[in-house]
Amino acid sequence: MDTTDMSFESVIKLIGDENFEGIGISVFTRTRNIAYSIAKTIRADFPNIYISLGGPHCCLLPDDAMIGCADSVVSGEAELIINKVFEEKLRGIINAPLPKNLDEIPFPDQELIDVDNYGYLEGLKFASRVTSISSSRGCPYNCSFCTRIKTMKSFRYRSAKNVFKEIKKLENEGFNGIWIIDDNFNALPNRVIELCDMIKKEKIRMDFGFQGRFIDTPKMWNKLARSGFCQMFGGIEHIKPEIVGYFNKYYNPNKWKDNVEIAVKQITDSNISLGGSIILGSPQESRDDASELINWCYDIGVDVINTNELELVYGSQLWFDAVINGFFPKERLHVRITELQEKEYLDEMFRLAWELSIKNWGKILKKIIRTKNDKFTPIITAIRWKENEPDYFFNKGHDGYGYGKRSEIGKIISPTFQNEP
């Protein structure tokens, strides 16, 4: 619904027009209300359709999801069990086993995916035909704002050989851009280097982007850049030691800032375009801290500064601490910091980050020309990006990773996101 701006009504109409026997819905905590509404409407209008819910929120709170009017709720990863669930129309809460060896899972069938709307990040289209690869699951770190769903707690990864095989298959299918959507693609630098060597050796000419972590490994960044990895998104989150500690981002909060700076230099020296995410609004943050952080990101060479308001989501350490300390009742599963504290400077800071990112426009364009195999697609969208600023941000703009639209800063009008009452 988010990628295509599909309204609730058009989803229900689609269901009426087709002859579905079963419907599966993925549920995020922030999208649970719309997911449950869809399930309830299907139940009322099409009582014979079997409904199953799954996804991060069902891993966290399967009971809550069961009330959402489904026949079954799958908690865990569905690959080993999904056929059985739908063929046998299983009922109730189903605990799915986690696949241990990810190399055994078949590659996604791209024909089932509508890829036309895929591949936009911050309004820039990555390449003309883009899809995604998941090369690992989970994350070895323990950031306090992240919901630690059970599937994430066990960090598992595919072999470089197996990932390469999927890349080759996608190349044969006509894709020229791939986003690696792992929580932390470069958690194991040696695996990444092995993959880069294969891509280089086989002369694959595709553009790759990834979500990763800032680590001091010049060799890895260099190899990535030379095998088509031209864009990275990483979580800087903050530089103020009290806040870095509050986020549990690094073993020594005093050293995080230096660590990021070193990695950013290595990444940008390799010409990889860099999006750095930051989280604004922590209780320990002043307006000056936020502005210092944003300006620092710009000064050290982050190309696009991606701003997020701190959200306390069920399943994260921060949510748990806030409930224990009586900041809100445990029934509230998703709370924005501005619901708890006045943070009048946030709008101004979102705008500052956007304006500084726009200032990097020429630099981003140069990087595209220098590093990308498909230069044409991103340049066309980059021109549109520049022409529409700041309208793009305020009217058609982004929330977090580019999903969910803001009518004005802070007000999200994404079709799937509804504020809690």
Asked if 26 touches ligand B12 (CB under 6 A), the answer is yes
Asked if 401 touches ligand B12 (CB under 6 A), the answer is yes
Q: Please pick, from the candidates 33, 147, 231, 277, the single residue that binds ligand B12 as defined by CB under 6 A.
A: 147
Q: Please pick, from the candidates 29, 176, 270, 377, the single residue that binds ligand B12 as defined by CB under 6 A.
A: 29
Contact call for residues 297 and 268 (beta carbons, < 8 A): no
Asked if 162 touches ligand B12 (CB under 6 A), the answer is no
Asked if 24 touches ligand B12 (CB under 6 A), the answer is yes
Asked if 119 touches ligand B12 (CB under 6 A), the answer is no
The total number of residues shown for the chain amounts to: 421
136 or 360: CB nearest ligand B12? 136
Site string for ligand B12, 120-139 (x = CB under 6 A): --------------x--x--
Name the token pair of 113.
Answer: 């995916």
**Do the bridges between strand 406-408 and strand 411-412 make them parallel or antiparallel, or are there none, so unpaired?**
antiparallel
Residues contacting residue 14 through CB under 8 Å, at least 6 positions apart: none
Asked if 149 touches ligand B12 (CB under 6 A), the answer is yes
Angstrom distance (rounded) from CA 147 to CA 32:
15
Q: Please pick, from the candidates 20, 46, 64, 79, the single residue that binds ligand B12 as defined by CB under 6 A.
A: 79
Q: Please pick, from the candidates 6, 8, 12, 28, the single residue that binds ligand B12 as defined by CB under 6 A.
A: 28
Residues contacting residue 355 through CB under 8 Å, at least 6 positions apart: 390
Query: Vertex 132, ends 126 and 135: CA angle to 5°?
Result: 130
- For 19-31, the DSSP string reads --SEEEEE--STT
Name the token pair of 67.
Answer: 């009330």
Min separation Cβ 96 and ligand B12, Å: 7
Name the token pair of 381.
Answer: 């969208």
Q: Please pick, from the candidates 71, 166, 237, 399, the single residue that binds ligand B12 as defined by CB under 6 A.
A: 399
211 or 266: CB nearest ligand B12? 211
Report the DSSP beta bridge partners of residue 307.
Answer: 278
3-class secondary structure, 332: coil
Angstrom distance (rounded) from CA 254 to CA 201:
41
- For 51-88, the DSSP string reads EEEESHHHHH-HHHHHHTT-SEEEES--TTTHHHHHHT
Q: Applying CB under 6 A, which part among 146-154, 200-208, 344-352, 356-364 lies near ligand B12?
A: 146-154
Site string for ligand B12, 176-215 (x = CB under 6 A): -----x-x--------------------------------
Asked if 152 touches ligand B12 (CB under 6 A), the answer is yes
Q: Applying CB under 6 A, which part among 148-156, 186-194, 254-262, 367-375 lies near ligand B12?
A: 148-156
Contact call for residues 251 and 142 (beta carbons, < 8 A): no
Number of residues that bind ligand B12 (CB under 6 A): 38
Interacting residues with ligand B12 between 254 and 313 (CB under 6 A)? 308, 313
CA dihedral 134, 275, 219, 137 (to 10 degrees): -20
Min separation Cβ 22 and ligand B12, Å: 9
Q: Please pick, from the candidates 11, 39, 74, 346, the single residue that binds ligand B12 as defined by CB under 6 A.
A: 74
Residues contacting residue 9 through CB under 8 Å, at least 6 positions apart: none
* Contact residues: ligand B12, CB under 6 A: 2, 24-26, 28-30, 52-57, 59-60, 74, 77-79, 82, 85, 134, 137, 146-147, 149, 151-152, 181, 183, 308, 313, 315, 399-401, 403, 416
